């Protein structure tokens, strides 16, 4: 009715009368202004059977659009078709056969999830498939997100901020818009990446999507959120402590609601449909449940891949570091050290820095049984020296100035000491973030020369 009224308002009275012709009385039922506009041309609607009456109404509206498009091409945009009533969908089906022969295009937008459910929308789309072409809309690319940020904020955002927001939102325009509203304008053009909490408006949208989930589905998705954005069915079953049949049923339910999707071309691999979906599910978890799930997932990885699997060291370090505050942190410390060493071997310096930082964070939970037999590091020991003793032994013993100072030392054996301020690594990355001091020949830390 809104599109019909808009077209009626756009026409001169005489033009409108010619477009409507004998169908004016039917259109006037939906848009009473028609009777006022063309007056005597509108007669009473003849008494007909209910089904025939709807046919005449649809025919009158179709004639209006056909005649109007003959004067100038028309594009009819129907948004949120998933929320349309059945009569509107029947009108769209009635219009479809006229489209190939008319300069008239109809563009309808709907949620693909809704189209999979039984109902009027799926029936209409099935029939319209013969005269239409579906187009799947994806998120904006990084350039598109940058353009949207610039229009919304009237500032030119930095490349790092564009990259961060694109990663967080995956280009969803609604999410981009809501994130911008939570930020100070100057935050967009500042250098460096950004971490943004989920805005309440987005959280409300996601909560609405999650609301119909059963208790089993909530339990399974909670474990999945701890595993990560993508998750393996075998790990999930071990972590959520439910029979596999219930796990599969819960995943089927979550898939139907569009919360998760099955990875194409794989068996048993799923992922949350959006990273913010996973973040909201994870944040819902009470801290004790979150810690317990991290422990279960870590142990499931150990059971499946073994404790020596290099490919899973970072995952193990991540999960056991979440458990470290309530259990012995030695396991987390060991996995983080090994993950950092492995990253260094593959020249992934930033990842190595992150793992060594993780090792420092769990250091205080390692207790008295440290690998070197040294007492737990206290504030006076300093994180750089304590980390060096723990994770390699000789990092704080000095490194010759001839080796290139901080730069040369970092390229040499950075796993020997965990540091506090950035030092350049190999001239290509702004590397080990944990580094407030570089070793000196005297064995005492000295400021790092940038």
Express each pLDDT in 354-372 by its tens digit. Answer: 899 999 999 888 765 554 4
Q: Mean pLDDT throughout 270-278?
A: 89
Task: Give the integer Cα–Cα distance in Å for 26 and 18.
Answer: 14
- Tell me what percent of the residues of the chain surpass a pLDDT of 90: 20
For 191, phi and psi rounded to 5 degrees?
A: -75, 160
Above 80 in pLDDT, residue 390? no
| 417 vs 274: which has the higher pLDDT | 274
For 10, phi and psi rounded to 5 degrees?
A: -85, -10
How many residues comprise the chain?
Answer: 450
Q: Which two tokens stand for residue 269?
A: 């691999």
Q: Mean pLDDT throughout 13-37?
A: 77
Question: How many other CB atoms are found less than 10 A from the CB of residue 6?
Answer: 11
Residue 272 β-bridge partners: 260
Least confident of 110-114, 214-218, 265-269: 110-114
Express each pLDDT in 283-331 by its tens digit. Answer: 889 999 999 999 999 999 999 888 888 889 999 999 999 999 988 789 9
Q: Which two tokens stand for residue 80?
A: 């949120």
Query: In terms of C-beta density within 10 A (0-12 exposed, 13-18 middle, 19 or more buried), how is residue 375 classed?
Result: exposed
Q: Mean pLDDT throughout 146-170?
A: 87
Three-class SS of the chain: CHHHHHHHHHCCHHHHHHHHHHHHHHHHHHCCHHHHHHHHHCCCCCCCCHHHHHHHHHHHHHHHHHHHHHHCCEEEEECCHHHCCHHHHHHHHHHHHHHHHCCEEEEECCCHHHHCCCCHHHHHHHHHHHHCCCCCCCCCCHHHHHHHHHHHHCCCCCHHHHHHHHHHHCCCHHHHHHHHHHCCHHHCCCCCCCCCCCCHHHHHHHHHHHCCCCHHHHHHHHHHHHHCCEEEHHHHHHHHCCCHHHHHHHHHHHHHCCCEEECCCCCCEEEECCHHHHHHHHHHCCHHHHHHHHHHHHHHHHHHHCCCCHHHHHHHHHHHHHHHHHCCCHHHHHHHHHHHHHHHHCCCHHHHHHHHHHHHHHHCCCCCCCCCCCCCCCHHHCHHHHHHHHHCCCHHHCCCHHHCHHHHHHHHCHHHCCCECCCEECCCEECCCCECEECCCCCCCEECCC
Task: Give the integer Cα–Cα distance in Å for 112 and 257.
Answer: 11
Average model confidence (pLDDT) for the chain?
75
Question: How many other CB atoms are found less than 10 A from the CB of residue 353?
Answer: 27
Task: Give the integer Cα–Cα distance in Å for 300 and 291.
Answer: 14
Express each pLDDT in 56-70 by its tens digit. Answer: 888 888 888 888 888
Under 8 Å between Cβ of 411 and 426: yes
CA 71 from centroid of its chain's CA atoms = 45
| 280 vs 46: which has the higher pLDDT | 280
Q: Which two tokens stand for residue 11?
A: 């026409």
Ordered domains of the chain (ranges, CATH): 2-131 (no CATH), 142-197 (no CATH), 198-305 (1.10.10), 322-450 (no CATH)
pLDDT at residue 281, rounded to an integer: 93
* Residue with the two structure tokens 């304590």: 386
Above 60 in pLDDT, residue 376? no
Query: In terms of C-beta density within 10 A (0-12 exposed, 13-18 middle, 19 or more buried), how is residue 12 classed?
Result: exposed
């Amino acid at each position: 009715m809104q599109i019909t009224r808009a077209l009626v308002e756009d026409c001169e009275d005489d033009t409108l009368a010619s477009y409507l012709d004998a169908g004016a009385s039917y259109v006037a039922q939906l848009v009473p202004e028609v009777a006022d506009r063309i007056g005597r041309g509108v007669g009473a609607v003849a008494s007909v059977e209910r089904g025939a009456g709807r046919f005449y109404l649809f025919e009158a509206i179709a004639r209006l659009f056909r005649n109007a498009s003959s004067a100038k091409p028309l594009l009819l945009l129907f948004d949120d078709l998933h929320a349309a009533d059945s009569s509107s969908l029947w009108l769209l089906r009635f219009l479809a056969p006229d489209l190939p022969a008319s300069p008239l295009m109809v563009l309808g937008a709907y949620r693909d999830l809704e189209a999979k459910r039984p109902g009027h929308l799926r029936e209409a789309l099935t029939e319209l498939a013969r005269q239409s072409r579906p187009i799947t809309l994806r998120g904006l690319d990084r350039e598109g997100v940058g353009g949207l940020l610039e229009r919304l904020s009237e500032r030119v955002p930095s490349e790092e901020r564009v990259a961060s927001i694109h990663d967080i939102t995956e280009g969803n325009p609604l999410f981009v818009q809501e994130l911008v509203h939570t930020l100070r304008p100057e935050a967009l053009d500042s250098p460096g990446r950004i971490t943004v909490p989920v805005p309440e408006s987005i959280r409300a949208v996601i909560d609405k999507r999650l609301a119909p989930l059963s208790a089993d589905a909530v339990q399974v998705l909670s474990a999945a959120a701890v595993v990560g954005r993508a998750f393996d069915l075998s790990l999930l079953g071990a972590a959520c402590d439910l029979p596999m049949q219930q796990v599969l049923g819960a995943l089927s339910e979550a898939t139907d609601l569009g919360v998760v999707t099955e990875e194409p071309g794989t068996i048993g691999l799923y992922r949350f449909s959006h990273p913010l979906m996973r973040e909201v599910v994870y944040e819902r978890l009470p801290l004790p449940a979150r810690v317990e799930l991290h422990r279960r997932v870590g142990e499931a990885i150990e059971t499946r891949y073994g404790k020596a699997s290099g490919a899973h060291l970072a995952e193990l370090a991540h999960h056991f570091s979440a458990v470290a505050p309530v259990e012995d942190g030695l396991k987390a410390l060991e996995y983080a050290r090994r993950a950092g060493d492995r990253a260094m071997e593959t020249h992934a310096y930033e990842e190595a820095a992150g793992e060594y930082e993780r090792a420092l964070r769990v250091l205080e939970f390692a207790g008295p049984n440290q690998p070197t037999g040294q007492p737990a590091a206290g504030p006076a020991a300093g994180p750089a020296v304590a980390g060096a003793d723990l994770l390699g032994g000789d990092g704080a013993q000095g490194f010759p100035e001839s080796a290139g100072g901080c730069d040369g030392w970092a390229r040499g054996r950075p796993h020997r000491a965990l540091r506090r301020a950035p030092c350049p690594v190999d001239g290509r990355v702004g590397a080990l973030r944990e580094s407030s001091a570089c070793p000196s020949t005297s064995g005492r830390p000295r400021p790092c020369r940038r």
